[in-house]
A and B are shown apart, each in its own frame.
Chain A
Amino acid sequence: MQRIGVFVCWCGSNIAATVDVKQVAETLKSEPGVVFAADYQYMCSEAGQNLIKDAIRDHKLTGVVICSCSPRMHEATFRKTAAAAGLNPYMVEIANIREQCSWIHKDKAVATEKAIILGRAAIAKVHLNAPLTPGESPVTKRALVIGGGIAGIQTALDIAEAGFPVDIVEKQPTIGGKMAQLDKTFPTLDCAACILTPKMVDAAQHENIHIYAYSEVEEVKGFVGNFSVTIRKKARMVDPVKCTGCGLCTEKCPMKKVPNEFNLGMNNRSAIYIPFAQAVPKVATIDPAYCIKMKTGKCGLCSTVCEAGAIDYTQQDELVEEQYGAIVVATGYNPIKLDQFDEFAYAQSPDVITSLEFERLTNAAGPTAGTLLRPSDGKHPHTIVFVQCVGSRCDGGKGKSYCSKICCMYTAKHAMLTREKYPDTDVYVFYIDVRTPGKNFDEFYRRAVEEYGVHYIKGMVGKVAPQADGTLLVQGSDLIENRQLRLNADLVVLAAAIEPDASARPLATKLTASMDTNDFFTEAHPKLRPVESPTAGIFLSGACQGPKDIPETVSQASAAAAKVIGLLVKDKLKGNPCVAHSNEMMCNGCSSCEKVCPYGAITYVDKEFRMPDRTTAIRRVASVNPAVCQGCGACTVACPSGAMDLNGFSNSQIMAEVDAICK
Chain B
Amino acid sequence: MQVNEKEFKPLIVAFCCNWCSYAGADLSGTNRLNYPANVKIIRVPCSCRVNPMFVLRAFQRGADGVILCGCHPGDCHYTTGNYYTRRRMTLLFSMLDYLGIERDRTRVEWVSAAEGAKFAATMNDFVATVTRLGENKRLEDLRCKKQ
Residues of A at the B interface (CB closer than 8 Å) are 70-72, 96, 98-101, 103-107, 110-111, 113-114, 117-118, 121, 508-509, 512, 514-517, 522, 534-535, 578, 596, 598, 630-634, 636-638, 646, 649, 651, 654-655, 657-659, 661-663
Contact = CB atoms under 8 A, between A and B. Distances in A.
B17 to A, nearest CB: 9
**The 4 nearest A-B residue pairs measured at CB:** A633-B49, A99-B29, A662-B61, A632-B78
Given A72-B23, A104-B34, A516-B114, A633 B57 contact: no
Nearest to A646: B49
B118 to A, nearest CB: 9
A634 B81 contact: yes
Contacts of A632: 45-46, 48-49, 77-78, 81
B130 interface: no
Contact of A630 (B23, B51, B58, B78): B78
B19 interface: yes
Contacts of A596: 48, 80, 84
B84 A655 contact: no
A661 B80 contact: no
A637 B49 contact: yes
A121 B42 contact: yes
Nearest to A93: B43
Interface of B: 11, 13, 18-20, 22-23, 25-30, 32-35, 37, 40-46, 48-54, 57-58, 61-63, 71, 74-81, 84, 88, 112-115, 120, 144, 146
A651 B27 CA distance: 28
Given A634-B81, A651-B51, A663-B61, A514 B71 contact: yes
B141 to A, nearest CB: 10
B54 A654 contact: yes
Contacts of B57: 655, 658-659
A654 B44 contact: yes
Contacts of B81: 598, 632-634
Given A99-B30, A662-B13, A663-B61, A514 B113 contact: yes
Given A106-B34, A508-B75, A99 B88 contact: no
A658 B113 contact: no
A663 B146 contact: yes
Given A99-B25, A121-B42, A634 B77 contact: no
Contacts of A646: 45, 49
A257 to B, nearest CB: 39
Given A512-B77, A578-B45, A663-B146, A104 B33 contact: yes
Contacts of B58: 658, 661-662
Contact of A534 (B37, B49, B77, B115): B77
Contacts of B61: 658-659, 662-663
A99 B26 contact: yes
A578 B19 CA distance: 15
A582 to B, nearest CB: 16
A110 B37 contact: yes
B45 A658 contact: no
Contact of B114 (A101, A103, A522): A522
B26 to A, nearest CB: 4
A651 to B, nearest CB: 7
Nearest to B79: A598
Given A72-B23, A634-B80, A517 B34 contact: no
A173 to B, nearest CB: 30
A509 B77 CA distance: 9
A100 B26 contact: yes
Contacts of B63: 658, 661-662
A651 B43 CA distance: 13
Contacts of A633: 44-46, 48-49, 81
Contacts of B30: 99, 103
A121 B88 CA distance: 25
Nearest to A110: B37
A535 B20 CA distance: 11
B115 A517 contact: yes
A658 B74 CA distance: 28
Given A104-B35, A633-B46, 13 more contacts: A70-B22, A72-B26, A99-B30, A103-B29, A121-B40, A514-B77, A514-B112, A517-B115, A522-B114, A534-B23, A632-B46, A632-B81, A646-B49
